[in-house]
Amino acid sequence: MSQIEINGAGVTSKRSSGHIKARLTRLNDLTFWVMLAVLALTPIPFGSARPFFWGLAAIIVGLWTAAYMASMLAMQQNLRIGFEKFGVQTLLAALFCLWLVVQMLPLGLTSVQLADGVSLPVPTISLAPGATVLMLIRQLTYGLFFFLMLQVSANESRRRLLFDILLGVIVAYGVYGLVSLHSGDTILGLEKWAYNGYATGTFVNRNSFATFLAMGGVIAAARIGKLLSDSAAAHPDDGRPRHLRGNLLLYGLAYVWLAAVVLSTGSRMGLFVTVLGAVLAVAIALRRTRRLSVLALIVPMALAVLVAVMVFFGSALFERLGDLDASSDARWDLYRQIWQLIMQRPLTGFGGGAFELAFPIIHQAPVNSDLIWSRAHNSYLALWAETGLIFGTLPLIAIGLIGARLAITVARKRGHLESQAIALGVLGVGGVHSLVDFSLEIPANTFVFLALLAAGAASTVNLKASR
């Protein structure tokens, strides 16, 4: 009798366990689709570069995180990827956010040194506490979004679905970008106030749109590399090569289309990172393929396609190549003055989000005075100017550590190589373009960047099963 009771309890326990696993899978599936909706919709209203729109995204991400954690507690389940897996990065992010809070405290320990030598005391480190509050909200939103994407990306099938759907979304925005350019050159049906004659899609800035497209190009390129790797390993009689060739054509066309739209943006660095990210992604995706014939085939084909695309779609870019020297000189003048600004407060910075208010302190010729320099056009310098050299470097270290983790995993040939190739590719795109522009300061781009980085990071964790 006792044996029957024990067996009955065992059956009940198994059913309960299966029920919880099914609920957990549904929770992660639903979270995946909600976060995918954030990715798909945030580019629509000017890249969500306006407080109302990114604030709406912040509310959605924040409330969903609370609901996700409440559900996990109710099911008494551990996180799929716990905070300890990325403990150093979590600590660095927390310290950075804490420093933003400190910048808003009325400590009365700082002053502003004006150009005429007058020193004015200010109550807070931040020259614009309101802007610092908004920056803090954005950073918390990005952290929670990355956390949720880590959880749902623990499942390999979800990662692959993410790549395909997100690539389709980016291609669709590329289609809209060219259509809007050639049917009135508008932005969301409104008359443009900048970058007339260049594709900007739903973004205001052509360089930000180019970065968005380049990250889609990384996905397509990594998929191409994966297919080539599979094709090299496939047996002629197993039925796979024909299927692979069809997919190879599909992803190849997606990449060519995105490259063509990037050329229509006229973004010089945009084209460079589109090629750079693709080369990184393909090279890493082919890491486990030893057949040099694959590379010997793809390199000349890629060069031929690139030349053809530039001939047919590169007129906007060629027009801007003539003023490359002049624009480079202007940027160096700007960067030199921003560095002077940084050196005024190398430890504290002028406050998160306060660059626009701080830069006039040192703004002088030869930097154009007819423009309002609301952005540093270099995200690294912007971080250091706003939060200081020490705390402004913390986010860079956190992202760099994830990149190092991905690179080590690739070198050891562990985990899902395609996910790692995409993550390292977008790191290259975002890291290089941030040297000369502010693309990753645009929320729509940041969400895509973090989603793909989280998918790659999740693939480096040793998971016994996926849910």
Q: 97: domain range?
A: 2-330+360-458
CB within 8 Å of 242: residues ≥ 6 apart: none
In a domain, 284, yes or no: yes
In a domain, 349, yes or no: no
Q: How far is CA 9 from CA 6, 13, 103, 190, in A?
A: 5, 6, 58, 66
Instruction: Count the neighbouring beta carbons within 10 Å of the beta carbon of residue 322.
Output: 8
Number of folded domains in the chain? 1
Measured CA to CA, the distance from residue 425 to residue 214 in angstroms comes to: 10
To the question of pTM greater than 0.85 for the whole model, the response is yes
Residue-wise DSSP of 241-296: HHHHHHHHHHHHHHHHHHHHHHHHHT-HHHHHHHHHHHHHHHHHHTTT---HHHHH
Backbone angles phi, psi at 234, to 5 degrees: -80, 150
pLDDT value for 340: 93
In a domain, 295, yes or no: yes
In a domain, 351, yes or no: no
pLDDT value for 19: 77
pLDDT tens string, the chain, 467 residues long: the values are 444 444 555 555 566 677 788 889 999 999 999 999 999 999 999 999 999 999 999 999 999 999 999 999 999 888 989 888 999 999 999 999 999 999 999 987 777 776 666 677 789 999 999 999 999 999 999 999 999 999 999 999 999 999 999 999 999 999 999 999 999 999 998 999 888 999 999 999 999 999 999 999 999 999 998 888 776 655 555 545 556 777 888 998 999 899 999 999 988 889 889 989 998 998 888 876 655 455 555 556 566 656 655 555 555 555 555 555 456 667 888 999 999 999 999 999 999 999 999 998 888 888 877 677 788 999 999 999 999 999 999 999 999 999 999 999 999 888 889 999 999 999 999 999 999 999 999 999 999 999 999 999 999 997 554 55
In a domain, 198, yes or no: yes
Strands (E), 157-201: 186-187, 190-191
pLDDT value for 321: 53
Give yes or no for a cis peptide into 443 (omega within 30° of 0).
Answer: no
pLDDT value for 6: 45
pLDDT value for 5: 46
Q: How far is CA 28 from CA 15, 17, 154, 311, in A?
A: 20, 17, 10, 45
In a domain, 464, yes or no: no
In a domain, 355, yes or no: no
CA atoms in the 13 A half-sphere facing the CB of 419:
30
Q: Treating both helix axes as pointing N-terminal to C-terminal, what angle do 379-387 and 324-344 enclose, rounded to 10 degrees?
A: 20
In a domain, 335, yes or no: no
Among candidates 55, 70, 173, 93, which has minimal Cα distance to 450?
93
Q: How many helices (H) and strands (E) does the chain have?
A: 16, 4
